[in-house]
Amino acid sequence: MSDTKTKRQQQRRRRGMTLIEIMVVITILGLIMAAVGVSVIPKLEEAKQDTARLDIKNIQSALKLYYTKKGKYPDTGTGLRALVETQNLDKIPLDPWGHEYVYMNEGGKPVLISYGADGTQGGEGPDADISSRDATAQK
């Protein structure tokens, strides 16, 4: 009798998982993925903003080197192309959202701006402008 019980248990083990067990596992995996997604997506936007601030800082360093060589900053019309032409930058950089940084020469002071995720002036959250004028750009 115990041999028959053991054979039945072995046959059950070989059969694999039931449909209900598979559905429970898929549901649990879905809940885990949803929880991770909710916590990761806001961090991605924060990381893009931090990258833009770091890029602005790096471009400012290239502008200072340009100033040291030329005695002035590029005018607004020439913009960041001047840095590429003098080989301080390999190419005109794009912000983390794929837009060009806006460069302005305001009375001999260079200003760099990223218009954020929407690529237009103004906005809040991920659409907020990031500027070299902001104290947050100096992080």
CB neighbour list of residue 32: distance below 8 Å, 6 or more residues apart? none
Q: What is the pLDDT of residue 137?
A: 46
Domains of the chain: 45-134 (3.30.700.10)
* CA 45 to chain CA centroid, nearest Å: 6
**Spatial separation of the C-alpha atoms in residues 47 and 96, rounded to whole Å:** 9
Q: For residue 89, give both structure tokens.
A: 């930058």
Q: What is the pLDDT of residue 12?
A: 61
H-state helical runs in the chain: 2-15, 19-70, 81-85
Q: What is the pLDDT of residue 135?
A: 55
Q: What is the pLDDT of residue 55?
A: 94
pLDDT in tens, the chain (139 residues): 566 667 766 666 666 778 898 999 999 999 999 988 888 888 888 899 999 999 999 999 999 999 999 999 999 998 999 998 887 778 888 999 999 999 999 888 999 999 998 988 988 888 889 999 885 444 4
* CA 51 to chain CA centroid, nearest Å: 7
Provide the sign of the torsion angle of the four alpha carbons 61, 65, 71, 76, taken in this order. negative
Q: What is the pLDDT of residue 14?
A: 65
